[in-house]
């Protein structure tokens, strides 16, 4: 990838670009903490961040956050409310974009964070949903961030913890999910979007230092490729400066 930026910084910049000005964002942990700050301080100054613990922000945190409950996130917040209030905003359909992660993902954007193997006799138990299933079901669109490893990409996940497009086109409508479903999957190798008609993942861009074939090799099963597939845009100098100011030791970006 070269020495000018890290993969983590590239992923944060890509995630920040998924946030539009004026949107309500269910932020989540890890890289989304940085992505919201980058978006807020660049192209989306009117974005509002919701944090599952009950924090609501209309400005970027002034300091590095290790958790959503850190003092800098609370002291200058627009509001600190019960968790049920924040989740209620999600349920009312007021969240434009939500960020979550997963251990496994399939071609329809379904995520597994529950177990590897049969749910009745799992080989590995994972942390579970937390609020991720709520975000996946109720946000107007979903952005997933996760490492890119062949074992994580499955034709069908072992357990659907957080639903994407289920079994394909029309599934969300049939089961009554009001949210819009996955819009982007950002990994350590690439960025995927989702086809509007088939609801399948489509390779949108590959990170500099990789090729389409590199991504295909690490993506189990058939991989659809966008006609205009291209290298993921590098972080700008402004984006890098903001990321490094918030995370000077590389705690999140490595």
Contacts of 184 (CB under 8 A, 6+ apart): 18, 143, 144, 191, 192, 193, 194, 204
Give the H or E element holding residue 128.
Answer: none
> How many helices and strands in the chain, by DSSP H and E?
8, 15
H-helix segments, the chain: 7-16, 31-41, 71-75, 83-91, 132-138, 171-175, 212-217, 237-246
Q: Cα(70)–Cα(19) distance, rounded to whole angstroms?
A: 23
- Coil vs helix vs strand at 166: coil
* Other residues' Cβ atoms within 10 Å of the Cβ of residue 238: 13
- Coil vs helix vs strand at 226: strand
Catalytic residue status for 52: yes
Given a contact cutoff of 8 angstroms between Cβ atoms, the answer to whether 241 and 10 are in contact is no
Q: Which of 52, 104, 218, 239 is catalytic?
A: 52
Q: Half-sphere exposure of 12 toward its Cβ, with a 13 Å CA cutoff?
A: 33
- List the 153-154 sheet strands across, edge first: 111-112, 104-106, 153-154
Q: Half-sphere exposure of 43 toward its Cβ, with a 13 Å CA cutoff?
A: 12
Residues involved in catalysis: 52
């Amino acid at each position: 990838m070269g020495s000018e930026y890290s993969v983590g910084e590239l992923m944060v910049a890509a995630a920040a670009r998924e946030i539009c000005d004026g949107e309500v964002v269910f932020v989540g942990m890890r890289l989304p903490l940085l992505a919201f700050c980058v978006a807020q301080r660049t192209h989306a100054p009117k974005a509002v961040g919701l944090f599952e613990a009950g924090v609501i922000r209309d400005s970027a945190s002034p300091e590095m956050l290790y958790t959503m409950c850190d003092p800098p996130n609370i002291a200058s917040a627009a509001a600190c409310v019960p968790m049920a209030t924040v989740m209620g905003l999600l349920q009312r359909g007021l969240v434009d974009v939500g960020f979550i992660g997963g251990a496994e993902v399939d071609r329809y954007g379904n995520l597994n964070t529950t177990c590897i193997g049969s749910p009745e006799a799992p080989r590995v138990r994972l942390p579970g949903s937390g609020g991720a299933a709520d975000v996946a079901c109720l946000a107007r669109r979903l952005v997933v961030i996760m490492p890119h490893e062949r074992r994580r990409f499955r034709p069908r996940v072992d357990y659907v913890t957080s639903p994407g497009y289920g079994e394909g086109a029309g599934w969300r409508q049939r089961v009554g999910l009001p949210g819009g479903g996955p819009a982007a999957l950002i990994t350590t190798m690439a960025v995927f979007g989702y086809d509007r008609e088939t609801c399948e993942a489509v390779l949108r861009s590959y990170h500099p230092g990789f090729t389409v074939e590199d991504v295909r090799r690490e993506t189990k099963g058939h991989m659809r490729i966008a006609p205009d597939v291209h290298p993921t845009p590098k972080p700008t100098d402004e984006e890098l400066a903001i990321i490094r100011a918030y995370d000077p030791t590389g705690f999140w970006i490595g």
